[in-house]
Amino acid sequence: MKPTTVIGFLGSTLDAAKFGPSRWNKWRPTVSICMQEDLRVDRFVLIHGSYHRRLAEFVMQDIRDVSPETEVIPHVLDFEDAWDFEEVYGKLLDFAREFEFDPDTHDYLIHITTGTHVAQICLFLLTEARYLPGMLLQTQPHKGAPQPIGTWASIDLDLSRYDSIASRFAEASAESTSFLKSGIETRNAAFNRMIEEIEQVAVRSRAPILLMGPTGAGKSQLARKVYELKKLRHQVEGPFVEVNCATLKGDSAMSALFGHKKGAFTGAVQDRPGLLKSADKGLLFLDEIGELGLDEQAMILRAIEEGRFLPVGADSEANSEFQLIAGTNRNLMDEVAAGNFREDLFARLNLWTFALPGLAERREDIAPNLDYELERFAESEGTRVTFNKEARERYLAFAESPSARWQGNFRDLAASVTRMATLCPTGRIDREAVDFETSRLARLWSGDKAEYDSLTDLLGKDRVAAIDPFDRVQLDYVVEVCRRSSSLSDAGRTLFAASREQRRSTNDSDRLRKYLAKFGLEWTILTR
């Protein structure tokens, strides 16, 4: 066995006792360490202040009496304020650096039962950081009748030696990773590895994060989930502020981002704090950052590095401490080469860069995302919709095939699910609904706009513009069903398949005729 060295503070209260035989009835943590039958202490480095020198000599003599083989080494360490974290940590760090440790030939136990709470915390941190290369040592008295020996336990901060603790940490990390994925059981290995890395960066760093990827790849949603994760960990206090930089053009960009003072320009009738100020203590997501002008980029860089910026028309600077996540669908390296993006800003953003793949590159993740979108629809509309088995298989066969281009990525998928769920009359998406939707997607990706122009041809551009988007989708579906049906009654039976079973009178053709009349349409017009 290797020799064991204990390092610990003298307990000015716990180790104190009146001289005489009665002191051996009291538990004194420093002395009790050397009274343990199953712990051999070859050397004890006893840290104490000058003021407690007499107590230290008293305790050292008692250690020699109970454990003659233990070499006790006093180490005087004085603090101006033993509760000042910076002072205590600094002096203990100096002690650790000067001490001649030899972990290959000696074992070290760092006693954390004695000393002020600040000293105990500092010993823990220095041991965790391996400045003190040993295990933590805890002692405590026996419960019940007073006994001088008490008990002891060592704690190895190498979590790999504690399966239960390590598994808890692994579970917590897995929960955070799942949180960033909105609980979606994604299957793409490269994407899962990337999310695991983002989770580590999110909880351990305040440096800017750059999310690259095509429109609809999920940059905005991921940025918000990073914020929510940091909020759960109490790492941010302020709000999540999202800015689409593509909407910031001209002189208004400076004002929107950095704020302005009253009277700074025509129309500035009152002070405006600006979006950067609104994100103070929180997280700022600048989506499509590549769309910003060079002047705005320069001010953003200074705000990131110094937390300061100058509002439009102001004489003094404003302060804002925020974490930045930037998103872009452009290749910023190409933009830097073309002179459209500042090289120094790109260098600042490029510490943590993650490229989000499009949906077409993650076809194995379409199935779990399909379920997720159905859940989202149920939450937003209060109606749960499901696929029948054949319809689901048919939709996935199309969605996962090479012919499915998914140009809009997850936005295309979300819109597709919303259309099918909205237009299914029975709460079950069937094969016919899937065939109709996949045909729509195929035409969309092929560039065929006939589907979207059909209502314009029927009603005219102005009348179509006056119809709510929700009603427009429904009307478009009704028109398509009418054109595929042999008669008005046949179309009515298809469209009212669920509700017709609950009505005493099932005059489907009359119901459909009245619905079409709301928009000035007739059956004869649709079947020409």
**What confidence category does residue 52 fall into, taking pLDDT thresholds of 50, 70 and 90?**
very high
Q: Would you state the pLDDT for residue 500?
A: 63
pLDDT tens-place string over residues 302-327: 999 999 999 888 889 999 999 999 99
Residue/partner pairs of 460-465 with CB below 8 Å, 24 or more apart: 463/519, 463/520
Contact between 46 and 60 (Cβ < 8 Å) = yes
- Under DSSP, the state recorded for 256 is H
DSSP 3-state of 47: strand
Instruction: Report the C-alpha gap between 87 and 233 in whole angstroms.
Output: 28
- Structure confidence at residue 249 (pLDDT): 76
Mean pLDDT of 44-73: 95
Domains (range + CATH), the chain: 4-159 (3.40.50), 175-355 (3.40.50.300), 362-446 (1.10.8), 454-527 (no CATH)
pLDDT digits (tens, 9 = 90+) for 240-250: 999 999 888 77
Q: What local confidence, expressed as pLDDT, does residue 452 receive? A: 46
pLDDT confidence of residue 165: 56
How does 328-341 read in b/e, with b if 16+ C-beta sit within 10 Å?
bbeebeebbeeebb
Instruction: Round to whole Å and give the CA distance between 143 and 456.
Output: 85
What DSSP designation does 356 have? Answer: P
Confidence of residue 272 (pLDDT cuts 50, 70, 90): confident
* Structural contact between residues 179 and 229, judged by C-beta atoms closer than 8 angstroms: yes
What average pLDDT does the segment 19-24 reach? 88
Average pLDDT, the chain: 88
pLDDT digits (tens, 9 = 90+) for 279-288: 999 999 999 9
pLDDT at res. 506: 67
> How many C-beta neighbours within 10 Å does residue 495 have?
22
Q: pLDDT at position 503, please?
A: 64
Bridge partner residues of 139 (DSSP): 152
Angle 431-446/389-399 helices, nearest 10 degrees? Answer: 10
pLDDT at residue 173 in the model:
60
pLDDT value of position 174: 65
Could you count the other beta carbons within 10 Å of the beta carbon of residue 313? 16
pLDDT above 90: residue 39: yes
Instruction: Give the confidence band of 459 by pLDDT, cuts at 50, 70, 90.
Output: confident
* Residues 93-128: tens digit of each pLDDT: 999 999 999 988 999 999 999 999 999 999 999 998
Residue 527's pLDDT is what?
62
Contacts 24+ apart (CB under 8 A), 341-348: 341/290, 341/297, 342/294, 342/297, 342/298, 342/301, 344/301, 345/297, 345/298, 345/300, 345/301, 348/208, 348/301, 348/304, 348/305
Binning pLDDT at 50, 70 and 90, where does residue 521 land?
A: confident
Q: Does residue 177 have a pLDDT over 80?
A: no
Q: What pLDDT is stored for residue 451 in this prediction?
A: 47
pTM above 0.85, yes or no: no
The pLDDT of residue 170: 55
52-66, 324-338, 501-515: least confident range: 501-515
Nearest-angstrom CA–CA distance, 123 and 99: 14
Query: 207 with 352: CB under 8 angstroms?
Result: yes
Total Cβ atoms within 10 A of residue 439? 13
**What tens digit of pLDDT does each residue of 205-235 get?**
999 999 999 988 999 999 999 999 898 888 8
Percentage of the chain exceeding pLDDT 90: 58
- Sorting pLDDT into bands at 50, 70 and 90, what band is 270? confident
Structure confidence at residue 487 as a pLDDT band (50, 70, 90): confident
**What's at 190, amino acid-wise?**
A
The winner for highest mean pLDDT among 258-267, 372-381, 498-507 is 372-381
Alpha helices of 67-188 — where are they, by DSSP H? 85-98, 117-128, 163-180
Please determine, for residue 171, whether its predicted confidence score (pLDDT) is greater than 70: no
> What would the mean pLDDT of 346-357 be, rounded to a whole number?
95
Instruction: Please check the confidence at residue 508 and state whether its pLDDT lies above 50.
Output: yes
Cα separation of 321 and 305, whole Å? 10
